[in-house]
Every structure is written in structure tokens, then in C-alpha cells.
Structure 1
Amino acid sequence: MFYHTDAVIEQLAIHRVGNKLQDEFYVLSDHPIALEDELLGQLLMHYFLSPFAKVNEVYRLFHASGTLALNEVFHFSKAFFQGELGFHELSQQLCKHLFEASNHPNIKGGELYVVRLRGVQLEGELHEAVGIFKSEHKETYLKVSPRQGAFDVDYEQEAININKLDKGCLIVNTEQEEGYKVLVVDQTNRQQEALYWKDDFLGLRIRNDAFHQTGNFLKVYKKFVDEGLDEAFDLERTDKIDLLNRSMDYFKDKETFKQEEFEEEVLGNPKAISLFNDYRQQFEEAYESPFGDQFDISNQAVKKVQAAFKSVLKLDKNFHIYVHGKREYIEKGYDEEKGMNFYKLYFKEEH
């Protein structure tokens, strides 16, 4: 988890970065901003860091070639953390790199903020960090103020809403050899061109820890049950719900995932096991995120994914049947006289 209650902004630099495909350029400031107003500092802390409070995913900086030093953000950040590059020079280099990474005509220009932070807490440890933030959207605000028994109304255009950070990342100065710990926010990532922030500018991949192994495995398994079994098996919706419920029960009851144990207790069918292993291998190769035969189970990840494992049969607009277990107690049939499907449920007590 990330906490910023005790964090302090030590330095701040602001630049402007445009879209070169729109003949816009970047504008570099000559020096950092002197933060002498305490309230302004608090507002900036809220603007920059509050969006990260609910971020669970931890990323790494990386390069597709396998040579981490070729990642520009890693190169400049490492030089800064090691005292080989000054803060303002770091911010200018990051602005230039972001400009070069803005390779889609729909990417919006905006202000780039680079911040040196002290006292950020991630996963129970305090660290220094570099924050990189970009504002792309501006709003108009009304200002109402009292004056001699009445009120004045004014407005301010092209203002920034401090509750709506567009893009941001925190590069936490720990585990340098692995690409640091990186948190990222992208509130405008709705179109393909918006991927430039994570991919082209930062160059990120998810850290393959217990949280992500657990979450990704459950997501791959759910997709396999929903889509991957249809060609080989003629399954009813209740069968698929049963497979999903069994997997969720496994991850709730166990502390460690073991592949053979999961296959036996949850899938239980050699053909289904073979199909699933092929399915997960495709994911591992595509995302370079191997699960391994065994990994620790993250309860936090299980809780996050559980909402997507819906165990509900929606019957027209009349009934919802929640299936939590005991697949053998529910039967599906067809009534010839009424020309309709039906479910038969068995139970011992009514509550």
C-alpha cells in the first residue's frame, strides 16, 4: 500500500510539452519553482499524490531489448538518485523524452510537473521518489466573493481541477536493479493513443509478485472458463459457475497456489487441464509474466477479483438465481407444453 501523509515536496519543476505531430514544441523553464506558500504546497500534494491512494499495481521500468539502461526514464532517474544528474536537469530531460514519445496526433499538450519527494511510504517502507505528472484538461471556474453587502462573480478559464490528475507516476528509489518500484495513474487512458504514457514514455511492465500472480491467474482462469472450454465441452451456465466457484474457494482456503493441486481439486478433468495449460501458456508468453508451478496467494488480490466472478443465473427479467455451491442440487430442463426452459432446485431448509 502507498501512503503520502508524511511525504514532503523538496523540489518542483514545471515545463510545457506539446505534440510534435501538431507542430507544437516543448518549453523548458530555467529553474525550479520555489514553494513558499504552505497552502499551495498542500494543494499540490493533494493534486499529485491522492490519486495513488487506491493504486495496488506496482510496475517496473524495463526495455524490450532486455537492457534496462536503454530505458530513458530509468537512465535519467538512476543518474539523479546516484547524484550524477541535478534535479532540474532531470526534469528537462524527462520533458524532452515525453515530447519525443508523443507520437499520435490526438495526444494533448499540457504542463509537465516533475517533483522530488521525501518520505513516501510504499509497502511499509519510507523512500525518496521522483514524481512525474501531466495535466492535459483545463476547466472554467466561477469565483464568488462578498463585497459591500453584495457579492461579486468572476471566473477563471484554463484552470486545473486539483481533484482530476490526468497522468502521473511515482518512481520510488528502491530495487534499482529490477527497474525500481513504480506506481502509475492514467485517468485519460480511453483510446489507443493514450497508451503512450505507460508504454512509449515510461516503458513499464507489471511487477510479477504475489498480488499480480494471484490476480492475473484468476483473470486468465475466468476467461478460460467463459470462452476457452466451449469448443471442447458442451457446458451449461451452471457448470461454468461451478468451476468459477471452485476456483474462488481454492484461492480463499489456501495460502499457496500449487499447480497440480489446483488442477486436481478444481478442474478435475485431464482434457480440461491440458486445454487450460495451453491457454495460460499463451498469456505467459504474450505478457512475459510466468505464473510458475507454485506461488503465494494474495488475499487482497482475491478480494479484488472476486466481484468479477459472478455466480448469478439471470433468467429473462424475472429471476436471478445465486449459485454458491452444490452443483448437483440444481437441474436444468425443458417444458414441452410451455415451450420454456426451467431450473429445478433442491434444498433442505428455507430461510
Structure 2
Amino acid sequence: MKIKIGNICHMIVHYVGNKSREEGVSFSEKELDFTDVSSDITSMLDKSFDAKEPCHFYFESTLALNPIYTFVKTIFGDVSRFQEQSEFIAKILYEKTSHPMTKSGELNIIYLSDCEIDGKKTDAIAMLKTENKQPAYQYLHTEHGYEIQKSEVISFAKVEKGCLIFNINENDGYVVFSVDKKSKGIQPKYWKDDFLHIMTDVTSYSRTKNLLNSCKTFIADNYAEDSKVERANLISKVRKVLEQTETLSIHEFSQEIFCEDNLDKQFETYLSSKDNPCRMHEEDIQIEKPLVKRKSSLPKTTLYLDSNFEINIWGGHDNIVQGYDEAAGMNYYQFFYNKEK
């Protein structure tokens, strides 16, 4: 999808504390005057969201019971209720911040007009939570010279935690893009799952990403006792197979990668199990090659030997011997090859 950010029409900021610490919610009585920062905010939104991963609101029983979806729908239907509904949104976020590690911060809610998605003009709503502030220093000119003053500021470089909702596909939960750059462990769950309650659309991109993440987790859990060389060789094999495949059969892929260790059926079961956060069914997948080629898509296959050597493993672990030289008192690797390229 291609998206284009339009113009800010309304913006309001509420403070949302941590519920476990009883920090409460503080509502703004009026909308923010965004005149001086409008272009900075729209620029930040434009470069922060990955249009390759669209999501949609959902709820287990019926979509209408998703509170954020309902509040957003109300605003799109009557923008004069923007401030009223923004307070409801802030209250819901506060209810989801019960984890002690969840940071307090400002919830920025923005109404945008003249946006575009795949060439279609529509309005949009952005929600941004600012939790991490950066130190800034300002010189103050006095009659005796200069003084320096320290303060904490919000960066408009990129969204850390936020979502962008386009007013299309209302009955299917709208088109939503979400980002959460800073949260680790359990924390991303509260923003995407507990607060927004959104689900990633099923696309070739999302299915390729889910397969890569599933491979990453499965290898980490089942090959922990293997040597680094053997794990690197297996990861390289996964990448090579995916790079050479247009349409992938899960069954054939599982046999090619994991059959030698009798883990192919276990991997197929893992893909569709509830224990897999990237749960997926055994269907053919159109592989997104650029995603496979990203260095971050799979674990590194590089051996770091002291501070002198970095060795990339692309296969051929049978031609690598690891040992210990008692005379030298050091570990070693031997690599056997036919010719140098």
C-alpha cells in the first residue's frame, strides 16, 4: 500500500499515567494549537509507518465491542465529537497500563484530512504516545553574558509508539498501521493487543514475516545444544531455500529444512499451535524476497573470534572442524575447501 499524510485539522493531548501506580489521567480542556509544528508532525507520520503491514480492528465476538474502533467510528461520523471521544480513548489506554513496567506519557490524538491510501482520498486519525523524552540545553542571554538551562523535550524525528487509522473499510475494522519501537518483552502486547485490539492482515508479506519469525524461534528452542556452526549452517539453509522459492509449500519446506533431525512434523505442528505468536496454517506462501534478504529477518550467521576474525557461515558445516590446541592453549577452526574465489 502507498499512503500520503494530509493536513492536521484537530489535535489534542492527554496525560495517561500508569494504573498500577495510580497515576491517573489528566485531560486537556481544549485542543492544541499546532500551527508552528504542523509540518514537523505530518513529516514524522509520513516516515514512521510501514505501509507493507496493514492491520484492522477486531474483537473476539463482534467488532462493535472493540471500544477504540467504536470511538474512532464516532469521530469519523461526527468530527465535532473529537474531544469527547479522545477522552474516552485516553481512559481505555489507562485501563491497559496496569503492568508496572508500562511508562506514563502523553497521548496525542490527531485528526487529518486530505490523506491518501493507494490513490484514494480519505480522512485519518493518528494516535501517538510519547513516553521517552530527550535532554535539551538552551542558552539564555542575560545582561552579564549567558546562562545554560536544561529541559526535557519530545523528538519529532520518528514515532516510537502509535497508530494511523484510515477511514476506509469501516465494516472490516478500517485500515490501521501500528508501530511500537521501544517496548520489549510483554510490553508490545499492551499497545497492539490490549489497547488497540488490532490484527495484521493476511498478506504474502505478513505470512513471509511470520514464517521467518517462526523459524527463528523454533531453531532457538530446538537447536540450543548444537554448535554455533551447525546453527549458522541451518539458518543459512533456511535463507537460501526462501530466496530461491517463489511459492513455498510449508510441508516441503519443513521436510527440506528439519527432516534430517526428525523435527519436520514438530515444526509443522508448531506453526499452527497456540504457543506460536505468529500462528499460521499449512498453506502455500508467496515469498517476499526483499524481506528474506534483510539481515534482521533471521539470526546472524557470523562467528566472532576474539576481536580479530569475523567468519560468515553460508553452509558447508561438514567441512568445518573445531578443536583445541593444547600446545598453543587456544581454540581453533579448520576450514576445508576446493578453491579460493
TM-score (norm 1): 0.78
Moved more, 115-124 or 250-259: 115-124
2:267 pairs, out of 247, 259, 276, with: 276
Aligned residue in 2 for 1:206: 200
Aligned residue in 1 for 2:10: 11
Distance in structure 2 (CA, Å) of the matches to 1:54 and 1:286: 23
Q: Deviations over 1:5-48 (max 9, x none)?
A: x521122123333445444443334443454x3x321233345x
- Name the count of aligned residue pairs: 340
1:45 pairs, out of 22, 33, 42, with: 42
Moved more, 314-323 or 169-178: 314-323
1:332 pairs, out of 297, 321, 330, with: 321
Q: Deviations over 1:138-196 (max 9, x none)?
A: 45543336789x96546474543333655321122233343333222334424646743
Distance in structure 1 (CA, Å) of the matches to 2:259 and 2:119: 40
Aligned residue in 2 for 1:78: 73
Are the equivalent residues in 1 in contact too, given 2:163–2:178 (CA < 8 A)?
yes
Give the gaps of 5 or more residues in structure 1.
none
2:56 pairs, out of 51, 60, 63, with: 60
Aligned residue in 2 for 1:322: 312
Moved more, 196-205 or 210-219: 196-205
Question: How far does residue 210 in structure 1 lie from its aligned partner after superposition?
Answer: 1.6
Q: Deviations over 1:279-299 (max 9, x none)?
A: 3233x5643732432121112
Aligned residue in 1 for 2:89: 94
Aligned residue in 2 for 1:219: 213
In structure 2, relative to structure 1, the CA distance for the partners of 1:154 and 1:3 (3 Å cut) is farther
Distance in structure 2 (CA, Å) of the matches to 1:239 and 1:166: 37
Distance in structure 2 (CA, Å) of the matches to 1:296 and 1:124: 25
- The alignment-based identity, stated in percent, is 26
Are the equivalent residues in 2 in contact too, given 1:139–1:158 (CA < 8 A)?
yes
Are the equivalent residues in 2 in contact too, given 1:229–1:272 (CA < 8 A)?
no
Distance in structure 2 (CA, Å) of the matches to 1:249 and 1:226: 19
Q: Deviations over 1:193-241 (max 9, x none)?
A: 674333332223333322221122122223333432568xxx5544433
Are the equivalent residues in 2 in contact too, given 1:59–1:204 (CA < 8 A)?
yes
Distance in structure 2 (CA, Å) of the matches to 1:25 and 1:265: 54
In structure 2, relative to structure 1, the CA distance for the partners of 1:316 and 1:188 (3 Å cut) is closer
Are the equivalent residues in 1 in contact too, given 2:302–2:312 (CA < 8 A)?
yes
Quote the RMSD (CA, aligned, Å).
3.7
The one-letter code matched in structure 2 to 1:227 is D
TM-score (norm 2): 0.80
